[in-house]
Amino acid sequence: MNIDMIRASAARAGGHVRRTPLLNSHFLDEIAGRRVWVKPECLQHTGSFKFRGAWSALSALEPDLRAKGVIAYSSGNHAQGVALAAKMHGAPAVIVMPSDSPRLKIANTRAYGAEVVLYDRANESREEIGAQLAGERGLTLIKPYDEPQVIAGQGTTGLEIAQQAAEAGIKKAEVIVCCGGGGLTSGIALALEAEAPGFRVRPAEPDGFDDATRSLVSGKIEGNASALGSICDAIITPAPGELTFPIMQRLVGPGLVVTDQEALQAMGHAFNRLKVVAEPGGAVALAAALFRGDQIEGDDVIVTISGGNVDADMFARALQTLG
Amino acid sequence: MNIDMIRASAARAGGHVRRTPLLNSHFLDEIAGRRVWVKPECLQHTGSFKFRGAWSALSALEPDLRAKGVIAYSSGNHAQGVALAAKMHGAPAVIVMPSDSPRLKIANTRAYGAEVVLYDRANESREEIGAQLAGERGLTLIKPYDEPQVIAGQGTTGLEIAQQAAEAGIKKAEVIVCCGGGGLTSGIALALEAEAPGFRVRPAEPDGFDDATRSLVSGKIEGNASALGSICDAIITPAPGELTFPIMQRLVGPGLVVTDQEALQAMGHAFNRLKVVAEPGGAVALAAALFRGDQIEGDDVIVTISGGNVDADMFARALQTLG
């Protein structure tokens, strides 16, 4: 896992993965007390950065293997990223989803051309179902974060940040990244180590699900007590990955933790001042920049909005925080 | 008014005006029955394309004149565009606004550094107040659309569309533009005449406020019966401009008219599928692409989302259309 893999991934992504802009607003700067720069990956294909990693993995596969197809377990952003990336490569995709997933998510994943295999969360194992399908059809499993080509794809976000920050004259900054399993965080950290060594990456997480933050403190992989209880579903993972954690440990600064309510407020500010749609898990880094300024150093902070796949009801809750 | 002015405006804009991306979604393509490409000017500074024209006008002024300051009449997107562009040039700005403007708009315009002069809509003339202030202080009036450097600035949107469409392999397209006074529509039309002659520009307007559509049919400038009664406030102007209409007459195809309800639905789809915030007037072109497909030709349609300055209550109405 190194910068050359990220650069190679970026070369394969050209013309397929969207280059998202770097946004800012005087109003956000005022709240934060420093300049705030926002990388809105909600504008990426399928509405989250996950498409980058999925495209990276699909495009790196041997053509013979790719033609047989890929498989993923996810009811969320990774599912949609893999489904669309596979469709754009003309490769079959199987997504294994819990049968109680929201119908819209199932419908969307099918609309991106994937075969959805439903399983009963209580009585069936998705790993068994997946392994059987993979064996029968020769499908390649695309993991959501603990997979080098996926980390390389997420790292292309960091290459863009480095270039766009240089264009904006930013020489030194903290870069706050919405952190689930650590694919985006470690990918961006590797890219910036090479391209913008004055930048320091830091993970942002929701209160009660701060596994990365605690793992960075203790020096070993720590898990969350629960998998339920936050609205930030996109970034609730059991623990940092076996591949991502050592990278984070080497390169990434202390974590920042925000409440669900602060994530909703950040969604409101993103609506009001940037005109982009953030989902709760995608808004934790912006929330940290706005509401944890005392834990941040320097004149410039760069944050990811990692995704925007939020339903109307939840978004209405965010609008209500604007008062 | 020609393409060289637009190119010169683009050169002055470099590094200051945001280059907005060109977005798309398989889901929108399905509704429209053709490929839909979206230029989200809601992501522009101040949340609308108006910043382009304001920057263009400010940057074209003689430095001596600019140092004395500029003045604009507007309670909306043009006010904010002029205020921020003036601030970024270090020039004073006076914005003449009705005293019954929403407090948030007054506060925002002030936050962009402008001096806000309020007037009583019933008993005072903004033109008189403006002329007096302009005379006393040597301020230059920046008109919202009937001003060559403003049209040139809006035209830079067209230069970007031409380049981004070429990158996406689009050779022929209808380009639907949200149309108020016609600054954006005529600017884009001039840019595409030079840079993408296979493209045809068409204005989109709300039902009952289709002055450009009717003017293009009759061949002379037609006004609207009323100035009130649409939620699409950003694009409700009395009639096409003296400068913009001849350009539109020469270059622009038939208008497209949508209902307020269709504009709200388009806002919902922009939220759901593109993760951007459109205001009602900024969503009429997307609404035309989605709901007037029978009046559109070809495989590709490109639309502007001209702005995103919408309050939370109105946006909640758009979310409700998603059902």
pLDDT 10s digits, A155-169:
999 999 999 999 999
Q: Among residues A194, A209, A192, which one has the least CA distance to residue A284?
A: A209
Does A14 contact chain B (CB < 8 Å)?
no
| Alpha carbon distance A122, B21 (integer Å) | 44
The answer to whether residues B72 and B26 belong to one domain is no
Q: Among residues B218, B74, B67, which one has the least CA distance to residue B137?
A: B67
Neighbouring residues of A4: CB distance < 8 A, sequence distance ≥ 6: none
CB contact (8 A) between residue A111 and residue B27: yes
Q: What is the DSSP letter of A79?
A: H
> Per-residue confidence at A194, pLDDT binned at 50, 70, 90?
very high
Q: What is the mean pLDDT of residues B125-134?
A: 88
Q: What is the mean pLDDT of residues A274-292?
A: 98
The answer to whether residues B178 and B238 belong to one domain is yes
Q: What is the ipTM of this complex?
A: 0.96
Strand partners, A98: A119
The answer to whether residues B257 and B306 belong to one domain is yes
Contact A6, A12 (CB under 8 A): no
Burial class (CB in 10 A: 0-12, 13-18, 19+), A187: buried
> Per-residue confidence at B16, pLDDT binned at 50, 70, 90?
very high
The answer to whether residues B267 and B169 belong to one domain is yes
Asked whether the predicted pLDDT for residue B78 surpasses 90, the reply is yes
Does A16 contact chain B (CB < 8 Å)?
no
- Helices (H) then strands (E): counts for chain A: 14, 9
Helix (H) or strand (E) holding A132: helix A126-137
CB contact (8 A) between residue A43 and residue B274: yes
Asked whether the predicted pLDDT for residue B50 surpasses 80, the reply is yes
The answer to whether residues B153 and B301 belong to one domain is yes
CB contact (8 A) between residue A21 and residue B23: no
Structure tokens at A219: 């020096």
The answer to whether residues B215 and B232 belong to one domain is yes
Asked whether the predicted pLDDT for residue B251 surpasses 90, the reply is yes
The answer to whether residues A125 and A83 belong to one domain is yes
Beta strand pairing call for A140-141 and A256-258:
unpaired
The answer to whether residues B72 and B206 belong to one domain is no
Q: What is the mean pLDDT of residues A179-205?
A: 97
Asked whether the predicted pLDDT for residue A273 surpasses 90, the reply is yes
Q: What confidence score (pLDDT) does residue B95 get?
A: 95
Q: What confidence score (pLDDT) does residue B52 get?
A: 98
- A111, A141, A171: which is the final residue of a domain? A141
Q: How many domains does chain A have?
A: 2
Does A308 contact chain B (CB < 8 Å)?
yes
Q: What are the Cα distances from residue A278, in Å, to B58, B188, B211, B276? A: 33, 30, 36, 9
Contact B5, B148 (CB under 8 A): yes
Neighbours of B229 (CB within 10 A): 14
Q: What is the mean pLDDT of residues A60-72?
A: 97
Contact B161, B194 (CB under 8 A): no
> Per-residue confidence at B104, pLDDT binned at 50, 70, 90?
confident
Report the CATH number at residue A218.
3.40.50.1100
Domain that holds residue A7: 3-48+147-320
- The 10s digit of each residue's pLDDT in B181-194 is 999 999 999 999 99
Residue with the larger pLDDT of the pair A97 and A185? A185
The answer to whether residues A117 and A173 belong to one domain is no
- B88, B107, B141: which is the final residue of a domain? B141
The answer to whether residues A234 and A104 belong to one domain is no
Mean pLDDT of chain A: 95
Neighbouring residues of A231: CB distance < 8 A, sequence distance ≥ 6: A206, A260, A263, A264, A280, A281, A314
Q: What confidence score (pLDDT) does residue A100 get?
A: 84
Does B322 contact chain A (CB < 8 Å)?
yes
- The 10s digit of each residue's pLDDT in A73-105 is 887 899 999 999 999 999 999 999 988 887 888
Burial A279-316 (b: 16+ CB within 10 A, else e): bbbbbbbbbbbbbbeeebeeebbbbbbbbbbbebeebe
- The 10s digit of each residue's pLDDT in A106-151 is 888 999 999 999 999 888 888 889 889 999 999 999 999 999 999 9
> Per-residue confidence at A237, pLDDT binned at 50, 70, 90?
confident
- The 10s digit of each residue's pLDDT in A5-60 is 999 999 999 999 999 999 999 999 999 999 999 999 999 999 999 999 999 999 99
| Alpha carbon distance B267, B286 (integer Å) | 8
| Minimal CA separation from B253 to chain A, in Å | 30
The answer to whether residues A104 and A220 belong to one domain is no
The answer to whether residues A105 and A211 belong to one domain is no
| Alpha carbon distance A257, A245 (integer Å) | 18
- B125, B141, B157: which is the final residue of a domain? B141
Contact B260, B206 (CB under 8 A): yes
Half-sphere exposure of B323 (CA within 13 A, CB side): 2
Give percent of chain A above pLDDT 90: 87
